[in-house]
Amino acid sequence: MAATVDVRLSQGTVRGTRGRAVSRFGAIPYACPPVGALRFQPPQPVPPRGLIDATAPGPGTIAPQLPARLRDAMGDLEGTQSEDCLHLTIWTPAADRARRPVVVWIHGGAWQSGAGALPWYDGARLAEEGDVVVVAINYRLGAPGWLCLPGLTANLGLLDQEAAIDWVVRHIDAFGGDPDRITAMGQSAGATCIAALCGRKPRFRRAILQSGALGRGFRSLEDAHALGALFLEAAGASDVDTLRGLPMDRLLAAQQAPALQAALSAGTYAGPLFTVVADGEVLPGDANARMAEWAGACDVLIGTTRDEMAAFPGYGTDEDSRAAGEAVFGARSRLWAGDARRAGRQAWLYRVDFAPTARFGACHCMELPMVFGTLDAFASAPMLAGADPGRLRDLSARMRAAWLRFIRGEAPGWDAAPAMQSLD
């Protein structure tokens, strides 16, 4: 039987599993379950309770979702789906109040798929090698987290992320972390969300933005309301109160409604069905014009992959696909780094050029197994098919070392922006 370790918080006693070098605390609630009357409401604080069992060995509960769009490149993810998903997982070398650097992971998935504590994102290796505390969070996906309609609070998933980071600030010292040395790290949708959080009151000092689609910017309130109305009709609901009472599978099915898919395919609305909205309340209506200002909120490690679009249907590694990736991911990431430096912040750029297959090249998500050192969890990922194991391990070791240096407050190991580090 695995040894356990207890951490006492005002919220209750959290019981995790003590490993050889790292202790793991899984599925800790950071907000009330957003179900029933709390569906489509901002996250609510968790009331005090007794023992919180955080010893489950698996990845834990994931937000309700359809199969991921990028499963052809990454493979499928598994987990128990439930709207009671506002949990976080912690990996720490020791719950000893040693005030180590902290990194909070915000996963991607086009605001419709993914989860924080998947085997893909196991934080044990980073925690052990870097003597840091790793936190992975879940947040609401799809309509429960990102639907935008008049009278409904927008960007609920973003508020979930902020609530999770607030929880970390309040409690992470009990897990051996330093609340004054938090790095927010996100990929794809997660990176875009971190950019948005920089426009609020960021609780982190540094940010790692991996393949954020910053070139698309944030959706306008007008477009978000139009898509929201189409979603409401697709779900067969007359208003939000009706929508609140529908079963989750009905909401998931509505995401695939022909009218919605036609509107997205026509190019009327840039980006996926759900995304961050410049709603005028959670984020200012002129959010896109203020991105240069927000880039000055913290030091940044930011980058992309060479063939971002090759992971998406209809794209490959040809020049046109690379140009599309440059417009969506590359150019705005470099601009963010430049804006950060002009604001007096430190900034470093990278590009992943590692391309083990002709089909996927250096596609979107290629850096993930390397950053976390979770090559075994990605063993069946088509984007890595046929890759030389030794080369994978070497690149992973180099990337983990660079990311950990940044998390500890140092330079990653190459010249600052505008220099671009190739990772291959």
β-sheet bridge partners, residue 100 = 177
Structure tokens at 146: 């990102």
Q: Which of 87, 171, 225, 364 is catalytic?
A: 364
CB atoms closer than 10 angstroms to residue 96: 12
CB atoms closer than 10 angstroms to residue 395: 21
Residues 6+ apart with CB under 8 A from 22: 91, 92, 93, 124, 127, 128
Distance CA 248, CA 210 (A): 30
Residues 6+ apart with CB under 8 A from 370: 352, 354, 392, 395, 396, 399, 400, 423
Task: Return the ∠ at Cα 64 (arms to 312 and 52), rounded to 5°.
Answer: 125
Q: Is 19 helix (H, G, I), strand (E, B) or coil?
A: coil
Residues 6+ apart with CB under 8 A from 399: 367, 370, 371, 423
Query: Is 211 noted as a catalytic residue in this protein?
Result: no
CA distances from 349 to 33, 56, 139, 416 (A): 38, 38, 28, 7
Query: Is 364 noted as a catalytic residue in this protein?
Result: yes
Residues 6+ apart with CB under 8 A from 79: 58, 59, 60, 61, 62, 115, 118
Residues 6+ apart with CB under 8 A from 278: 218, 219, 220, 221, 284, 285, 286, 287, 288
CA distances from 306 to 200, 320, 365, 367, 376 (A): 31, 12, 11, 11, 24
Q: Which of 23, 87, 113, 188 is catalytic?
A: 188
Q: What b/e sequence results for 204-228 when a residue is b if at least 16 CB atoms lie within 10 Å of its CB, and e otherwise?
A: bbbbbbbbbbbbbbbbbbebbbebb
Name which of 377, 225, 221 is nearest 285 in CA terms: 221
Q: Which of 308, 321, 333, 367 is catalytic?
A: 308
With tokens 């410049």, the residue in question is: 278
Query: Is 171 noted as a catalytic residue in this protein?
Result: no
Active site residue ranges: 188, 308, 364
